[in-house]
Amino acid sequence: MPTRPDTGRETTLAERVAAVAAAHPAVARLDAGEFGALATYLPGRRLVGVRIGEAGEPVELGVVLHLDRPIPEVAQVLRRQVAPLCGAVPVNITVTDVVTDDRR
């Protein structure tokens, strides 16, 4: 599903969501998912791992996690951290993969 064209507000929101998610110690990286749909198109680039849809649609976040914490717990924490940025829309977290080694 394509992301709507950038209007300025989405850029700020997508970048803020990405920054909050990427800062979590269990997040190895943001990820666009198997088909690359979890992304936001910004001027001159594509921000993978965050999809901002139409008004009222959920904000979607795709992450690859380090496998050192329970996945449901990390997803819940990420949702709690990102939700205040997104207003009244739901936040969907998709764990696209896990990293099992200790390299960070």
pLDDT digits (tens, 9 = 90+) for 24-48: 999 999 999 999 999 998 888 999 9
Name the one residue in this structure whose structure tokens are 């936040």. 91
Here the tokens at position 42 are 């910004």
Question: Quick one: how far is CA 55 from the chain centroid?
Answer: 17
| Mean pLDDT for all residues in the chain | 88
- Residue 51 has a pLDDT of 95
2 pLDDT exceeds 50? no
What pTM value is reported for the model? 0.83
Q: What is the DSSP letter of 58?
A: P
